[in-house]
């Protein structure tokens, strides 16, 4: 019952069927003390030689790129003969998504599951993220890419939520600052968009944003300055990512994600970088419509992240702009645009296929306004000669 529940202004719900254990050394503690028989490991290639992986002495499959259906099929063939009782996913969002797809097939005989009730069937799925941002470690989604169309196909079911999520800040110790920044931004936008969704927001998911988005902002100056993070700071990012995954499992993402995912089909950029392209114009579009709702969030941020106070929509945009500039992410976006100039028309055609965005957007959204917002985001990173036609056509 209510497997497909989405919130409305008249009816609110909240669901999350997993468990989380967080703290330094929790992965080693689980492997050494609670690990069941029949373990198989799906790991990011960078962790192939990790001491914990080697000590586990379990069937191992490695993930080396963004998840594709063919990769999930190959890994399924690698580990299925061992008939695993437990699958441990050790890696970032790509690895976690592949592990979810493989686990779905082992449980249900297909990758194409959707809204399948959680039945507790084997194998159990344990998620140990080595990045912080995608939220895949707690969400009910996995995404597989189609190389031919460059489209990303999302699958959802509460049965895909990992049975146990282990948040071990030691796994982030070697992560480069740019990766941490991109992940932190991804989690921040997950939390923000679930917080201001017009129809589906609720007090349950708002509490997640009020707690965890300010914690991300508190770490942001350290990321921008390329200073080493303490275990507590790394754990704050991991907990924020995990709770953002819970939030977007209960509330749909918004306009920034719609635009960013459409852009990802055209340019070779990581998902958070495509979101960053549209940060300023989308936040400006929202500003007056969500001012009352956002006021408690900015007050909480003032208390938790005083270095950036007073926080506001403009301060939020400026803080991320500074961080992306300092770590040269904006330069990478501009270079990607120069290598493959994005098409505003193709972007708008892809966005038009999202039938829910107008319903959930906090402000009325017609095609002309949406085109202006998209063009404004692209223009910041395009060569002037490429940006001019887009801006003219948008008008």
Whether residues 384 and 237 fall in one domain:
yes
Whether residues 203 and 160 fall in one domain:
no
Whether residues 189 and 70 fall in one domain:
no
pLDDT in tens, the chain (395 residues): 555 666 777 788 888 999 999 999 999 999 988 767 799 999 999 999 999 999 998 999 999 888 888 888 999 999 999 999 999 999 999 999 999 999 999 988 888 777 776 666 689 999 999 999 999 999 999 888 776 666 677 788 888 899 999 999 999 999 999 999 999 999 999 999 999 998 888 999 999 999 999 999 999 999 999 999 999 999 999 999 999 999 999 998 999 999 999 999 899 999 999 999 999 999 999 999 999 999 999 999 999 999 999 999 999 999 999 999 999 999 999 999 999 999 999 999 999 888 777 767 888 888 899 999 999 999 999 975 544 344 434 43
**Closest to 220 (Cα-Cα) out of 134, 313, 315:** 315
Residue 212 lies in a domain: yes
What does the block give as tokens for 254? 């918004």
Whether residues 130 and 212 fall in one domain:
no
Whether residues 168 and 181 fall in one domain:
no
Residue 330 lies in a domain: yes
Residue 353 lies in a domain: yes
User: Which residues, other chains included, contact 116 with Cβ-Cβ below 8 Å and sequence gap of 6+?
Assistant: 104, 108, 157, 159
In order of 24, 109, 192, 354, the CA distances from 49 in angstroms are 20, 31, 37, 42
Residue 7 lies in a domain: no
Q: Could you tell me the CATH number of the domain that includes residue 86?
A: 3.40.50.1970
Whether residues 154 and 245 fall in one domain:
no
Residue 8 lies in a domain: no
* End position of a domain, from candidates 172, 188, 213: 172
Query: Using CA atoms, how far apart are residues 152 and 132, in angstroms rounded to an integer?
Result: 21
36 within 8 A of 122, measured Cβ to Cβ: no
- State the residue range of the domain holding 29: 19-172
Whether residues 390 and 288 fall in one domain:
yes
Residue 24 lies in a domain: yes
* End position of a domain, from candidates 134, 151, 172: 172
Whether residues 83 and 131 fall in one domain:
yes
Name the β-bridge partners of 41.
60, 88
> Which tens digit of pLDDT belongs to each residue from 14-72?
889 999 999 999 999 999 887 677 999 999 999 999 999 999 989 999 998 888 888 88
Buried b (16+ CB within 10 A) or exposed e, 247-274: bbbbbbbbbbbbbbbbbbbbbebbbbbb
Phi–psi pair at 125, nearest 5 degrees: -115, 125
Whether residues 62 and 195 fall in one domain:
no
Tell me, what's the pLDDT at 393?
41
Q: Could you tell me the CATH number of the domain that includes residue 373?
A: 1.20.1090.10
Whether residues 152 and 187 fall in one domain:
no
> Which tens digit of pLDDT belongs to each residue from 172-196?
999 999 999 999 999 999 999 999 9
Residue 130 lies in a domain: yes
Residue 4 lies in a domain: no
Strands 164-167 and 124-129, by their bridges, are parallel
Query: How many domains are contained in the chain?
Result: 2
Whether residues 134 and 57 fall in one domain:
yes
Whether residues 302 and 373 fall in one domain:
yes
* End position of a domain, from candidates 131, 152, 172: 172
């Amino acid at each position: 019952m209510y497997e497909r529940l989405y919130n409305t202004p008249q009816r609110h719900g909240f669901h999350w069927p997993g468990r989380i254990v967080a703290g330094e050394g929790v992965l080693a503690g689980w492997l050494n003390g609670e690990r069941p028989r029949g373990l198989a490991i799906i790991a990011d290639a960078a962790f192939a030689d990790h001491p914990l992986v080697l000590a586990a002495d379990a069937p191992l499959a490695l993930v080396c790129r963004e998840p594709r259906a063919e990769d999930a099929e190959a890994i399924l063939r690698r580990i299925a003969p061992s008939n695993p009782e437990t699958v441990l996913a050790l890696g970032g969002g790509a690895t976690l998504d592949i592990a979810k797809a493989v686990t779905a097939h082992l449980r249900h005989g297909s990758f194409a599951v959707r809204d399948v009730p959680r039945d507790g069937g084997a194998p159990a799925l344990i998620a140990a993220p080595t990045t912080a941002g995608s939220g895949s470690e707690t969400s009910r989604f996995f995404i597989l890419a189609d190389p031919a169309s460059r489209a990303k196909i999302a699958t959802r079911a509460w049965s895909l939520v990992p049975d146990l999520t282990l948040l071990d800040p030691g796994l982030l110790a070697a992560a480069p600052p740019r990766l941490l920044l991109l992940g932190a931004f991804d989690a921040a936008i997950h939390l923000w968009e679930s917080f201001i969704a017009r129809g589906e927001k609720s007090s349950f998911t708002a509490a997640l944003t009020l707690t965890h988005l300010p914690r991300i902002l508190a770490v942001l100056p350290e990321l921008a300055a390329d200073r080493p993070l303490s275990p507590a700071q790394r754990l704050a990012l991991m907990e924020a990512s995990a709770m953002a995954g819970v939030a977007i499992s209960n509330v749909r993402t918004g306009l920034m994600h719609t635009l960013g995912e459409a852009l990802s089909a055209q340019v070779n950029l990581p998902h958070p970088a495509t979101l960053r392209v549209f940060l300023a114009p989308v936040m400006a579009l929202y500003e007056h419509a969500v001012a009352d709702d956002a006021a408690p969030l900015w007050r909480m941020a003032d208390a938790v992240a005083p270095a950036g106070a007073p926080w506001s929509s403009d301060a939020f945009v400026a803080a991320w702009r500074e961080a992306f500039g300092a770590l040269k992410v904006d330069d990478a976006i501009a270079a990607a645009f120069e290598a493959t100039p994005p098409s505003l028309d193709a972007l708008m055609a892809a966005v038009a296929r999202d039938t829910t965005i107008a319903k959930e957007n906090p402000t009325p959204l017609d095609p002309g306004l949406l085109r202006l917002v998209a063009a404004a985001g692209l223009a910041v990173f395009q060569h002037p000669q490429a940006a001019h036609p887009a801006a003219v056509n948008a008008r």
